[in-house]
Structure 1
Amino acid sequence: MNIFGAMYDKTMQWSKHRFATFWLTFVSFIEAIFFPIPADVMLIPMSMSQPKQATKLALYTAIASMLGGMIGYAIGYYAFDLVSDYIQQWGYQHHLDTAISWFTKWGILVVFVAGFSPIPYKVFTICAGVMQMAFIPFIITSFISRYARFLLVAKLAAWGGEKFAAKLRKSIEIIGWSVVALAIIAYLLLK
């Protein structure tokens, strides 16, 4: 089954589309609020296919993520009771509990680390609002951490460029099915 190869080809095709930058920023914005797919899914192929634009793409992605983070913060601050059931349904409750304990222990430093954490960023944006973290330090720290992360990802992808894209394409089925297998194993172990 060539599922991941077809998805990879489509993603690479989309990365060169004239509206790709819009979709990259849109995905980055909504990912900081509720969307489960990170912006990296678009940032990486776009940076590989447009290496000279990698820094600019990382900046756009970080700005959109920060703006989405502001909405996530507002949800946590003003409407947490309305969304708490969705957080449980979507399987983020454990992540939220972890983030709250981190906020209690380390404060603003958690927002910086969250930019690089495997825990979805939306959890931290909503949690920052729930914890009523100071808004301006939240925004500044969010931007710095998200830009650092996206710049690192974009520059690595740009450095690999089209040559890396071709090598990745050859191994995408193995990588894709390995990730699926690891996700199933993790789910079964954590169940």
Structure 2
Amino acid sequence: MTAPTRTALLLIGFQNDYFANDGILHAVIEESSRVSGVLKNTLNLLEEAAPLFDLIVSTPIHFTDSYGELEEPVGILKTIKEVGAFKAGHSGAETIPEFKQYEDIITEVPGKRGLNAFSNTHLEELLRSKGIDHIVLAGTVTSICIDSTGRHAADLGFKVTILSDCTSSRTIFEQEFFCENVFPLYGAVKNSSTLMTV
């Protein structure tokens, strides 16, 4: 007889610089987020289905004012440095206020400095200590942090599920492309309502 699956919900990128109307990078994900309903659906998941998860984790990304953690950054990390996003101690780096009411059930794992939530954090150690073998991903950006974290989790032997309506990308096309063509290569893609009825 096999042991029952133990599942963690992993929340990535739910910070003001992405989700607040005046967030520095809000425009990057605004259209995709509106179409997928990422925030509304994730809040509904926390409200209605939190007991489904053995662990709920948030992995915010933070940098010092000088961005000394980034050596010759490229791509999205270069953009983050250039526009001054996710500075520790600044409002843009703070977790969105909508999560405040759930802070007693969300475990925050600090240390994320790049694309993959496992890098420079104790996320794997925490998951192993709780006997987690299945990770469900929600957040942004689909093509970057969600994909990087999902692939790494699969390489570590975790079962991976990505919630198509609780994630958002830079464009609607990119969101659909990853959900239809990339994520199924290493995990499952589900709608949060389907997850809640299983």
TMscore range, shorter length: under 0.3
Larger Rg computed on CA atoms: 1
Higher strand fraction: Structure 1 or Structure 2? 2
TM-score normalised per structure 2 = 0.26
TM-score normalised per structure 1 = 0.27
Higher helix fraction: Structure 1 or Structure 2? 1
